[in-house]
Copies of this chain bind each other. A is one copy, B any other.
Amino acid sequence: MPRNAVVLLILALSATSYAAEDSTWVLQSRELPAPLGVSDVLRDSIAGTPQPDIESSSTSPQTDAEWEALISSIVNPVPLQLIGQGLGVEIDAEQIADVKVYRVTPPAISPEHEEHLFLYAHGGAYVFNGGDAAVSEAALVSALAGMEAIAIDYRMPPSDPFPAAVDDFIAVYLNLIESMEPTKIAVGGSSAGAGLALAALHKLKQLNAPLPGAVYAGSPWADLTKTGDTMYANEGIDRILVTYDGYLGGAARLYANGEDLTDPLLSPVYGEFSDFPPTIFVSGTRDLFLSDTVRTHRKMRAAGVTADLHVYEAMSHTGYGFMRQAPESNDWYQELINFLKTHLQ
């Protein structure tokens, strides 16, 4: 509004210094209705689940034993064979370069993807979703795109902190490109998986290794520190992650194992993105990682990279993956698949 704009301009010109402690705003309590500008399925789901509770979400295991107990208490909600049957894909556990992976073969290979591969890294804050849960979106993308996929069951803490996950990703990728063109591989995933893929690309650049042909950066955990503005603005609004100050922050410290969280191999947003392959980003307006997503997108654009951004109304972190019954989910995976068809050579 012009009046505010005039005030802003005047203040911007006159403000020469400020006290940092005065620059934190205290947001008042206010109401957030169930969103109307989304599909009925997504709205009913949001309206039908309890409001996220910041306080009860603000705890995290403190010791390795507590982490191990938590991790082992979480059962993969969908058994591997059921994933395969539902999508018509075949899933085979293998090892590549001594790293555990799952090879996903779709019922039919699309003609344009006969020579292509989707190399997938699962999410779960670098601590969860090991084992069968590592297949995750790889099965879906493989089935929808008609493309072979390999999901990496990378090592994780507490037993194997950073850089084990990056090393595993790199080892699998370098093995694969011994027998196929790097540009025929798309890499990526969601959340920590997207962060890991982006970190691995920084590492490949350090190694002067050839880069893959395309990247899927789904709501990437691109910054392990609590820096992104939506880490604060969407606290208690994102119904999946809820807050940084619980598992997330704890997992970041557990994974980093004392290393600087702003190392680009831990927080890829701090890296340099020149020569990155075409990358597609997705997030939601309620995503705690919306800021991580748009900050990384902008850094890529500034580096001259082909990078597309998609943001869904009122969607929490990786809602497209959790809400497969919502039209928004199909819409997103269609975007992703079209992107891969366009950009994989």
Q: With A51-B26, A74-B2 as known contacts, state yes or no: A335 contacts B129, CB within 8 Å.
A: no
Residues A124 and B12 in contact in the complex (CB < 8 Å), given A30-B27, A298-B312: no
Q: Tell me, rounded to whole Å, the shortest Cβ–Cβ distance linking A192 to chain B.
A: 11
Q: How many Å lie between the Cα of A125 and that of B1 in the bound state?
A: 7
Contact bitstring A55-80, B, C-beta under 8 A = 1, else 0 = 00100000000000000001101000
A54: contacting residue among B9, B28, B298, CB under 8 A: B28
Which residue on chain B has the smallest CB distance to residue A57?
Answer: B4
CB of A15 within 8 A of CB of B232, answer no
Chain A, residues 20-45, CB within 8 Å of chain B (1/0): the string is: 10111111111111111110000011
Binds B, one of A156-164, A203-211, A289-297: A289-297
Which single member of B48, B51, B128, B286 contacts A2 (CB below 8 Å)? B128
A8 at the binding interface (Cβ < 8 Å): yes
Segment of A138-146, A180-188, A194-202, A237-245 in the binding face: A237-245
Nearest B residue (CB) for A332: B298
Q: How far does the Cβ of A77 sit from chain B's closest Cβ, in whole Å?
A: 5
Q: Are B311 and A236 in contact (CB under 8 A)?
A: no
Question: How far, in Å, is A208 (CB) from chain B's closest CB?
Answer: 29
Nearest-CB residue, chain B, relative to A240: B4
Cβ-based interface call for A171 (8 A): no
Contact of A33 among B232, B237, B312, B331 (CB under 8 A): B232
Closest residue of B by beta carbon distance from A49: B11
Contacts of A302 in B (CB 8 A): 331
* Selected interface stretch from A84-92, A100-108, A112-120, A221-229: A221-229
Does A168 count as interface, using CB distance less than 8 angstroms?
Answer: no
| Interface check A313, CB cutoff 8 A | yes
Distance to closest chain B CB from A13 (angstroms): 9
Contact call A18/B241, Cβ cutoff below 8 A? no
Query: Are A30 and B311 in contact (CB-based, < 8 A)?
Result: no
For the complex, give the distance between the alpha carbons of A314 and B294 in Å: 10
With A77-B6, A240-B8, A247-B1 in contact, do A229 and B35 touch (Cβ < 8 Å)?
A: yes
B48 touches A11 (CB 8 A): yes
Measured CB to CB, the nearest residue on chain B to A242 is B4
A241 surroundings in chain B (CB, below 8 A): 1, 4
24 A-B pairs in the complex with CB atoms less than 8 angstroms apart? A1-B128, A2-B124, A6-B75, A8-B45, A9-B322, A11-B49, A12-B323, A17-B48, A25-B33, A25-B236, A26-B29, A26-B31, A27-B27, A31-B232, A32-B232, A38-B229, A233-B285, A233-B286, A291-B314, A297-B310, A297-B311, A298-B331, A301-B331, A308-B308
A30-B232, A30-B235 given. 15 additional CB < 8 A pairs?
A: A1-B248, A5-B322, A6-B77, A17-B48, A24-B32, A26-B32, A28-B236, A31-B232, A32-B233, A37-B228, A38-B229, A291-B313, A298-B313, A298-B331, A301-B335
Q: Which A residues fall within an 8 A CB radius of B? A: 1-9, 11-12, 15, 17-18, 20, 22-38, 44-52, 54, 57, 74-75, 77, 124-125, 128-129, 133, 223, 227-230, 232-237, 239-242, 247-248, 269, 285-286, 290-291, 294-295, 297-298, 301-302, 308-314, 322-323, 325, 331, 335
